[in-house]
Chain A
Amino acid sequence: MIAIGLEGSANKLGVGIISHPSPGKPAQVLSNVRHTFNAPPGEGFLPKDTAKHHRSWFIQLVKQAMREAGVKIGDIDCVCYTKGPGMGAPLQSVAVGARMLSLLWGKELVGVNHCVGHIEMGREITGAENPVVLYVSGGNTQVIAYAEQRYRIFGEALDIAVGNCLDRFARTLEISNDPAPGYNIEQLAKSGKVLLDLPYAVKGMDCSFAGILSSIDLLAAELKANPEWKDPLTGEAITTADLCFSLQETIYAMLVEITERAMAHVGSNQVLIVGGVGCNERLQEMMGLMARDRGGSVFATDERFCIDNGIMIAEAGLKAFETGFRTPLEESTCTQRFRTDEVFVKWRN
């Protein structure tokens, strides 16, 4: 079976085509194309502009994906799209596009939960059987484990998502949003040395990032006012790189800690990192150290599958489609709020 997946819950528009040759065989990625809307430095992407971006690129990307995959319309079995969670206007644009393709081609629609898409793609690519999943992106921060037909949320961010914290700090520093604000922070952090004190907000298996963002913003303002600022302990000059370094070390330690708690709780020693922040190599490295200490292993993917993409929507959608799930046209809405544990996972046991 072959499915086309359409994703546009945030600033990336992705189209992917996946094939499930036969049960038990690994899925084949036929094509996976993406176009990103980047806001200028110092700004975030606004829903209205992002939706416009998605509308103007939609047809071009679908055509490109079909061409690269080398499939004909007749080969496609279903059209999968992101039902939520995400930003309203971009979600709507893509849902309209999905409905159009469904009517035009005469194919069934499958509405997909964005988070479940990330998890299923991560499992498919890495081959992780039953991992604890850390899902970290610009909009979501969750520690998830599978139990009885649902992806259950063991821990989550109580306020803003970890990626949002990074994005907004990049705005404070007015660094480029291209290719991604978090990527540019990661590159800066590589030359940071001084660890500045930031709040550490872990509550059980939950965590909070808003206070950390306020603190690091204050430190950035202090550095701007006093470029000669020196570390009182070592006498070394404090730089923007040190701020990025301190931010990364603190928030990733929090994420690894809550993941470790969840692993101890459910008795698993595999971790799968998904979502845009999951590309971060320092996070992957720290998670690897923790997993090794527990006699386990960490699974992560690269930017093709970590960052929002169409193929993951196709993968999760096709899995649901194969178990008989359909989204009738009149129910093919989208929603900004759609929890991971609301989805009934019929394809796993």
Chain B
Amino acid sequence: MRAFFNRRLGYSLATLAVAGGLTAAWMVGRIALRPVALYTGWLLLALLLALTFFNARKKLPFFPLISASHWLQAHIYLGWLACGVFALHISARWPDGAIEIPLALVFILVALSGVLGLWLSRWLPSRLTRSGESLIYERIPMLRHQLVTEVKQVVRGAETETQSTTLGDFYVRVLAGYFAHVPAWLAPLAGGDAEHHRVKLELEALRHYLSVREIALADQLAELIEAKRNLDNQFAGQRLLKLWLFGHIPLTFVLLVFTAGHVWLVLHYSHR
């Protein structure tokens, strides 16, 4: 843990040092009447391509490139550096051009989505681990279906074995809706398992009116409710971990297109 902290601290300080050096060079270049916008532009383009290559790296697993985890580290710190270079490039002046406005806007959105993704990828995995069994995201719909089937079997079994409709009524009134429920997109951010606790409390309260056999079946239902809680958490958390990429990656493509247009215009029209 300490090594992790030291590594993060070292990379952060190195990034800050590079950013500070670039800022100083930018100031000197500006005083020396050098085309600093051109220089920072080229640097920003190089950083953008390096950052984008992280995505390409994942698609080229057969190349003997450094590990994806190292790429991710580089992606994060170069991303922060790119934000600084971007600020130098626009000289803290919001652009006015038809290409430059969307370009700046998209850059900021990509950066913000990257920061969001970084935070989510740091915050959610530990919560998901604490939640329970780790599930493969693509299997979750199937597992939900499986859970619903099992619940129905338990409830039907209870009616058959005990000739009582207590658990059946409970299923109709509470469990059917609970197991059919799919958590909202931002459910992990809202936090809490209020719905789950409500259902468990109701089931607990129902125990006073159940026979011994029904109590045993209610215990099975409680297990399934707990599994559903974990399944919902896993689903909502993993979905959020994938959804932020729906902003980050497509916007990166757009950013590259606008960047290409911007670079072409600059090379074509630049006075310097």
Query: Does B associate with A?
Result: no
Binding site for A on B (CB under 8 A): none
